[in-house]
Amino acid sequence: MDTANASVSDVELTEHRAVSDRLVAQRGPFTGTSPIVNDDLYAVVKRGGSTRTRFALHLHAGATVHTNTFFGRFPASYWQRWTTAAEVTATARIDAADHCRAQLLASDIGGHRRIIAAEVITGSGTVTLTAKLDKFADGGALWLQFDALEGGVTVADIEWTVASPETVRPVAIAICTFNRADDCANTVAALASDERVLSSLDAVYVVDQGTDPVETRELFQQVAPKFGDRLHYLRQANLGGAGGFSRGLYEASAAGPHADVLLMDDDVLCEPESVLRLSAFANMTTDPALIGAQMLFLYNPNYL
């Protein structure tokens, strides 16, 4: 981490060669990063018993789970309309005591449900289901459903991938804060809590305009080393939200002309998965685009 009042002039943000021919568009978490977030926002167990962790869910015999949820759906209509992706592939690691049925389902503008692909897995292995992104012009999404047939089943490591571009733009986050030091420290810690997201970040700019510095918080000091030299802590006079975010944009654009910059409030309950999804979508749009995100109500995350 570096601390500065003046511009961080030695930072350089450059495009990366894609490390794989598949770009992870989103993963499939089964639970949030906070106990106040309803698990049903990620996956719904329709019947039977289950236990879950962040990226794995164990179904008891006879149980069924689906991801037709706020965080579980793949927004197929948006990907068809705004990106170059022609198809999407969903994969999951399965460990079945007997049999597991996996289905890839879709909806349309009327909410009608249809099965795109299905497979029955015996024992352990990886299930791969693919859908073309050519029938969602007027709306619709994709999701997965798993049925534990006869015995228990563990579903883990769900990923939705698309054909990767040759190069991937660098990702920077700009956080503007004013005397919400604890909240801001929690937000930075949330970003550091997800190794996949952390490794994808090229720069994080924390623009502190307050009199109660974030850098004094123990949590911030604990997680800062995880970012290495990618975390830039900037102090300046209070210029409001516009001035704080503009400083972050200025620093990122000075470091490289092609960086994707995510503007993030200091007092949110950050879902790190959102960073991965926004970055992937932005890298696949047919034209440069401003990508917005929905925000759930912090005191009752079941509502926007």
CATH 3.90.550.10 boundaries in the chain: 2-18+167-284
Question: For position 208, what pLDDT does the model report?
Answer: 98
Q: Given this model, what pLDDT does residue 9 score?
A: 59
The crossing angle, in degrees rounded to 10, of helices 181-192 and 218-227 is 30
Q: Please report where in the chains the tokens 């503008």 appear, as a residue.
A: 109
What class is the 2-18+167-284 domain? alpha beta
Q: What is the pLDDT of residue 303?
A: 86
**Per-residue model confidence (pLDDT) at position 19:** 87
Is domain 22-163 in CATH 2.60.120.200, yes or no?
A: yes
pTM for the model stands at 0.94
pLDDT of residue 294: 83
Per residue of the chain (304 residues), give pLDDT as tens: 777 676 665 778 999 998 899 999 999 999 999 999 999 999 999 999 999 999 999 999 999 999 999 999 999 999 999 999 999 999 999 999 999 999 999 999 888 999 999 999 999 999 999 999 999 999 999 999 999 998 999 999 999 999 999 999 999 999 999 999 999 999 999 999 999 999 999 999 999 999 999 999 999 999 999 999 999 999 999 999 999 999 999 999 999 888 999 999 999 999 999 999 999 999 999 898 898 878 899 888 888 7
| 225 class by beta-carbon count within 10 Å (0-12 exposed, 13-18 middle, 19+ buried) | exposed
Q: Looking at the chain, which residues constitute the CATH 2.60.120.200 domain(s)?
A: 22-163
Provide the pLDDT for residue 6.
61
pLDDT at position 8: 62
User: What's the pLDDT at 302?
Assistant: 87
